[in-house]
C-alpha cells in the first residue's frame, strides 16, 4: 500500500489554510504571494505544493474549511424568516474582509476554468441548494406561490449581492437587503397568506 513513509503534517495543512485566509482577506489574492503564505504559516513552499496543486486551490479550501458554515440558514419560526435572516448573514459576510475571498476566487475563476467549476460545485451550488430547499419549504407553508422558476428567483435574490460585492456600485447594507427581500416577496408571495 502507499501507507509507508512519513505522514503528511496536519499541523502544516491547517497552518497554511489559516495563513492563506488571513493574508488574502486582508490584502487580496493577487497581492499575496505563495512565498508569503508559506512563510506566514512557518512552512516550506514545497510543503504547500505537496498539499495543493496551486495557489487558488489553497484559498478555495481555506474558504470552505474555515468559514464555509458562516452563512448557514438560521433557525426561525418560518421558512421565510429563515431566508430573510440568511440574507442578512450573507450581507454581513460580504461586507467583512472575508468578502475578499469571494472577490478573489471569482476574479481568478474568469481565467481558470477548473477553478470556476470548483467554485460552482463546492461553494455556489450547495448554497443555492440550501436556498432552494428553503423556498420550497416556504411554498409548502403556503407563504410563497408555486408557479415561478426557482433558479431565476435565486439569481435575483443573490445576484444583486454579488453585483455590489464585485462592482462596488453601492453598499451591501441593511436597507439594501431589506429592499431586495421585499421585492422578492412582492413578486413571489402567495396571494392569500396563510394565517393561523
Partner DNA sequence: TAGAAACGATACCCTCGGTATCGTTATGGG
Partner DNA sequence: CCCATAACGATACCGAGGGTATCGTTTCTA
Residues within the interface to DNA (CB under 7 A): 1-9, 12-13, 30, 32-35, 42-47, 49-51, 53-56
Closest CA to 37 of 52, 51, 22: 22
- For a second copy, give the closer residue by CB, 49 or 162: 162
Output the CA torsion 27→70→163→118 (10° steps).
80
Handedness of CA 139, 142, 144, 145 (dihedral sign): positive
- Please report whether residue 126 would count as binding a second copy according to CB under 8 A: no
- For DNA, give the closer residue by CB, 22 or 95: 22
C-alpha cell of residue 34: 505563495
Residue 160: CB atoms within 10 A of its CB come to 18
Residue window 95-124: x/- pattern of binding to a second copy, with contact defined by CB under 8 A:
--------xx-xxx-xx----x--xx---x
Q: Do the beta carbons of residue 123 and residue 63 sit within 8 Å? A: yes
- Compute φ and ψ for 74, nearest 5 degrees: -75, 155
- Please report whether residue 152 would count as binding a second copy according to CB under 8 A: yes
Residue window 63-92: x/- pattern of binding to a second copy, with contact defined by CB under 8 A:
------------------------------
- For DNA, give the closer residue by CB, 14 or 146: 14
Q: Do the beta carbons of residue 39 and residue 110 sit within 8 Å? A: no
Kindly tell me which residue out of 44, 78, 168, 174 binds a second copy, with binding defined by CB under 8 A.
168
Kindly tell me which residue out of 11, 140, 163, 174 binds a second copy, with binding defined by CB under 8 A.
163
Amino acid at each position: 500500500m502507499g501507507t509507508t513513509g512519513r505522514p503528511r503534517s496536519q499541523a502544516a495543512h491547517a497552518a497554511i489554510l489559516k495563513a492563506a485566509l488571513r493574508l488574502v482577506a486582508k490584502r487580496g489574492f493577487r497581492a499575496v504571494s505563495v512565498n508569503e503564505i508559506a512563510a506566514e504559516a512557518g512552512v516550506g513552499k514545497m510543503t504547500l505544493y505537496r498539499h495543493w496543486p496551486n495557489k487558488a486551490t489553497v484559498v478555495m479550501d481555506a474558504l470552505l474549511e474555515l468559514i464555509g458554515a458562516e452563512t448557514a440558514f438560521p433557525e426561525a419560526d418560518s421558512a421565510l424568516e429563515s431566508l430573510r435572516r440568511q440574507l442578512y448573514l450573507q450581507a454581513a459576510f460580504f461586507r467583512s474582509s472575508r468578502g475578499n475571498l469571494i472577490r478573489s476566487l471569482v476574479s481568478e475563476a474568469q481565467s481558470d476554468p477548473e477553478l470556476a467549476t470548483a467554485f460552482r460545485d463546492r461553494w455556489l451550488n450547495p448554497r443555492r441548494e440550501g436556498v432552494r430547499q428553503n423556498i420550497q419549504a416556504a411554498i409548502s407553508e403556503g407563504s410563497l406561490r408555486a408557479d415561478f422558476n426557482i433558479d431565476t428567483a435565486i439569481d435575483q435574490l443573490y445576484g444583486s449581492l454579488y453585483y455590489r460585492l464585485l462592482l462596488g456600485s453601492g453598499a451591501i447594507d441593511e436597507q439594501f437587503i431589506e429592499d431586495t427581500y421585499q421585492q422578492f416577496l412582492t413578486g413571489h408571495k402567495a396571494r392569500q397568506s396563510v394565517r393561523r
